[in-house]
Structure formats: structure tokens, C-alpha cells
């Protein structure tokens, strides 16, 4: 080990960063604000987020994180809670009504009350599913998110959107349910497969285009370090992306207005995920979706060439896909028509009017979408990230 490496290894970890999402109280008097804590070695902070009123805590985690789930359960037991574990399928396979029903059964058989809590340990899919279970059990109990992927940290764990999938589409069933807090422990990224980390960066790039240009500059200056979980760049990218989401969510908790901007790239992205039966990583699909949204913005005369082209260059620097197969348009259009942003038969997309200028736009004719799709359609597509 070099002297520099020894110095870096022995250097104390920086203090956690705390970003507050929302503030004030809701109609029922409940606190709306909560903290997202970003740093290293954060497990000791979990009991303070679970709170003193809970007696029972259900730790929901995927099969792949069985060992981590057991560590969390043991830590909660040491803190005096009756802690149980519910193991669910990995990734999108865990976001089914049957999985939610299994978790409800565990809660019921163990007499969970409104003062008890759920802890979600895993990626974005686990956060969505566990959050939905918490939102629906007794019409809402406390939930703490412990995201273990970059995607979970910057997207699913922040904002209180929960959901499960149906055969008709992604996240069509869900609820808004704000967590009691989020622990984004950067140590979990050290063992994350590189493809998983890079796919999560798509949501970070999204935040760069809709709000914080500094995110794009960091990636452009050092794309290799932007993919290195040991680097300061990754921590800053995560903090900046969470800050963007926290600011937007704080203004629009229930996605009735400005919060739709966080769906940039998601309309086509979700349609791709559905067409691929969720075998594509979410971030890979959103990457293609952002390219489509940028080209649609350009074709409608809303976006300048430089910003549209920057989408291609930034995503290519990270090795994220920017094209999709040319024989799937009818399937994709069917998915687009089921998007949550639509109103009646009116198709709506989040588009850019320039760097950091998102808005939701009604598309008068689906033929415009088809013409734009020809800009990104290729006979063959797919990378390691998408499979």
C-alpha cells in the first residue's frame, strides 16, 4: 500500500451530512419533515429514528441482503425492540401484491399496532414495497429507510412515494407516505456491483439536467471518479441529487405540480421496463428515457441543440444506454398511455426548456412521439447495464 493510500485509509470519515425534507405539520398534526442522513457507519442512528414509542419493528429486506437484515435486526434487539424479519424477493420481483400480503400477514400475526414500525433495508424496489406496506398497515405506521444502493439513496428512499407493480405497469398502485427518516450509509456502496452503481447514476444525471448543473460538471470532469464509491465525487453527487429531490418534494409533497419534474425521462423509461418485463435496470431505462425526452424537447423547438447533445455525451461518459430497439414502438406506446402523469386521453411528458428548466407538456398527437422515437431506435441495443 502506498503512503498516500495508507493516509487515506487511516483518515477519519467526514461527519454525516443531514438534509431535511419538508417541514411543518399535516392535517392530522403529524410532522411532515424528516432527515436524510448521509455518511459512513450510520447503523447506530437507527433507534433514534424508529423512536421510543415502538415496541415491535419489522425489518423488510431482499434475499440478497439476508446477512445485512440480520445485523439490523440484532442491533434493534440490543436497543430493546422486539425485532422481526420479512425476507422478500429481490428487485422488482418484490413489488407484487402477493409480497405485500405476505408482509401484512407477518404484521398481523405479530400484533403490530400503529405505534410500531417498519425498517426497509435494500434498494429502490424494497423501499417502494416496504413503504407501501407501512402506508397501508392500519392506514399508516412509521417507516425508516436504509437504502443500500445509489439508486435507493437518491431516488426511492426520499420523497415518500411508495408503490407496487401490476401486470399493466409500474407503480400504478401506491400511496404517499413520508418516512420517519433515511439512513444513506455510503459504506454499502463499497460492495455494490459496478453496473448497479452506474445505473443509479442515471437518476443523479436527471437531477443535473432538471436543476443542478454542477452535477453534470463533476461527471464531465472525472467520469471515472464519478463511478468510484471511494471518491469524494460520488459522495458529492449523492448529496447534490438528494438536495434537489428534497427541495422539490418539500414544495410539492403529493406530486400535484412541480414535483412532476422528477419524472424527467421516466415516461418512456417505465414503458421500457414494462416491455422488458423488468429485466432492464431502472437507471438504464431512465437513461434512454432522458435521451427521448431531450430529443422530444428539441423537436418541439423547446430545447437548444447544445443541451440536447449534452444528454448524449454525459450518459455516454458513464456507459449508460442511449438507444432502444426499433421493433417495440407499439408496446412502448401502450406503456406510455398508462403513465401516471396522463389526464384522460391526454399524453403528458416532462420536457426541458433549457438547462434546469423542466415543465410538464401535453403532447397533442402520438405521431410526434413516433417521429422522435426514430431518433433513438436501433436494430440492436443493450449493454451489460440493461441486462
User: Are residue 381 and residue 299 in the same domain, yes or no?
Assistant: yes
Q: Does 66 fall in a domain?
A: yes
CATH number for the domain including 369? 1.20.1090.10
Instruction: Provide the pairing of β-strand 324-325 with 377-378.
Output: parallel
- State the pLDDT at residue 25: 43
Q: What are 76's three cell numbers?
A: 434493534
User: Are residue 205 and residue 79 in the same domain, yes or no?
Assistant: no
CB-based contact 176:161 (threshold 8 Å)? yes
Q: Does 2 fall in a domain?
A: no
Given CA atoms 181, 184, 185, 191 in this order, what sign does their dihedral have? positive
CB-based contact 94:121 (threshold 8 Å)? no
Among 151, 167, 191, which residue terminates a domain?
A: 191
User: Are residue 94 and residue 22 in the same domain, yes or no?
Assistant: yes
Among 147, 167, 191, which residue terminates a domain?
A: 191
Instruction: Provide the pairing of β-strand 56-62 with 82-88.
Output: parallel
User: Are residue 179 and residue 211 in the same domain, yes or no?
Assistant: no
Q: How many domains does the chain have?
A: 2
pLDDT in tens, 339-355: 878 777 789 999 999 99
Q: What's the whole-model pTM score?
A: 0.91
User: Are residue 207 and residue 308 in the same domain, yes or no?
Assistant: yes
CB-based contact 275:193 (threshold 8 Å)? no
Task: Give residues with Cβ within 8 angstroms of 379, minimum separation 6.
Answer: 325, 326
User: Are residue 184 and residue 69 in the same domain, yes or no?
Assistant: yes
pLDDT in tens, 59-76: 999 999 999 999 999 999
Q: Does 5 fall in a domain?
A: no
- State the pLDDT at residue 31: 55
User: Are residue 31 and residue 178 in the same domain, yes or no?
Assistant: yes
Q: Does 6 fall in a domain?
A: no
CA atoms of 218 and 237, how far apart (whole Å)? 8
Which residues form the domain of 94? 12-191
pLDDT in tens, 138-167: 999 999 999 999 999 999 999 999 999 998
Grid-cell match 416532462, residue found: 350
Amino acid at each position: 500500500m502506498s503512503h498516500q493510500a495508507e493516509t487515506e485509509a487511516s483518515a477519519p470519515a467526514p461527519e454525516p451530512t443531514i438534509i431535511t425534507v419538508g417541514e411543518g405539520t399535516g392535517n392530522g398534526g403529524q410532522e411532515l419533515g424528516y432527515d436524510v442522513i448521509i455518511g459512513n457507519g450510520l447503523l447506530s442512528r437507527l433507534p433514534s429514528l424508529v423512536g421510543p414509542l415502538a415496541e415491535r419493528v419489522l425489518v423488510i429486506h431482499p434475499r440478497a441482503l439476508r446477512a445485512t437484515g440480520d445485523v439490523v435486526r440484532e442491533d434493534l434487539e440490543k436497543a430493546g425492540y422486539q425485532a422481526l424479519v420479512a425476507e422478500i424477493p429481490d428487485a422488482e420481483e418484490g413489488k407484487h401484491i402477493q409480497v405485500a400480503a405476505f408482509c401484512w400477514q407477518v404484521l398481523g400475526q405479530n400484533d403490530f399496532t400503529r405505534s410500531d414500525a417498519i425498517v426497509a433495508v435494500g434498494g429502490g424496489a424494497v423501499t417502494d414495497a416496504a413503504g407501501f406496506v407501512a402506508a397501508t398497515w392500519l392506514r399508516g405506521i412509521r417507516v425508516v429507510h436504509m437504502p443500500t444502493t445509489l439508486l435507493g439513496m437518491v431516488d426511492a428512499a426520499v420523497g415518500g412515494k411508495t408503490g407496487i407493480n401490476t401486470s399493466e405497469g409500474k407503480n400504478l398502485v401506491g400511496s404517499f407516505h413520508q418516512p420517519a427518516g433515511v439512513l444513506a450509509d455510503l459504506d454499502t456502496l463499497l460492495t455494490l456491483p459496478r453496473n448497479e452503481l452506474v445505473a443509479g447514476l442515471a437518476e443523479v444525471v436527471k437531477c443535473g439536467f432538471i436543476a443542478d448543473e454542477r452535477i453534470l460538471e463533476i461527471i464531465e470532469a472525472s467520469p471515472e471518479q464519478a463511478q468510484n464509491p471511494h471518491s469524494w465525487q460520488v459522495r458529492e453527487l449523492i448529496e447534490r441529487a438528494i438536495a434537489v429531490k428534497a427541495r422539490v418534494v418539500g414544495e410539492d409533497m403529493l406530486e400535484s405540480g412541480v414535483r412532476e419534474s422528477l419524472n424527467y425521462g421516466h415516461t418512456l423509461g417505465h414503458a421500457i421496463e414494462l416491455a422488458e418485463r423488468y429485466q432492464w435496470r431502472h437507471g438504464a431505462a431512465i437513461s434512454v428515457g432522458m435521451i427521448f425526452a431531450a430529443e422530444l424537447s428539441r423537436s418541439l423547438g423547446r430545447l437548444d441543440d447544445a443541451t440536447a447533445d449534452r444528454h448524449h455525451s454525459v450518459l455516454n461518459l458513464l456507459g449508460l444506454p442511449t438507444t432502444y430497439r426499433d421493433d417495440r414502438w407499439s408496446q412502448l406506446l401502450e406503456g406510455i398511455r398508462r403513465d401516471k402523469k396522463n389526464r384522460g386521453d391526454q399524453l403528458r411528458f416532462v420536457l426541458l426548456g433549457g438547462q434546469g428548466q423542466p415543465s410538464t407538456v401535453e403532447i397533442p398527437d402520438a405521431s410526434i412521439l413516433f417521429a422522435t422515437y426514430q431518433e433513438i431506435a436501433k436494430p440492436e441495443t443493450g449493454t451489460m447495464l440493461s441486462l
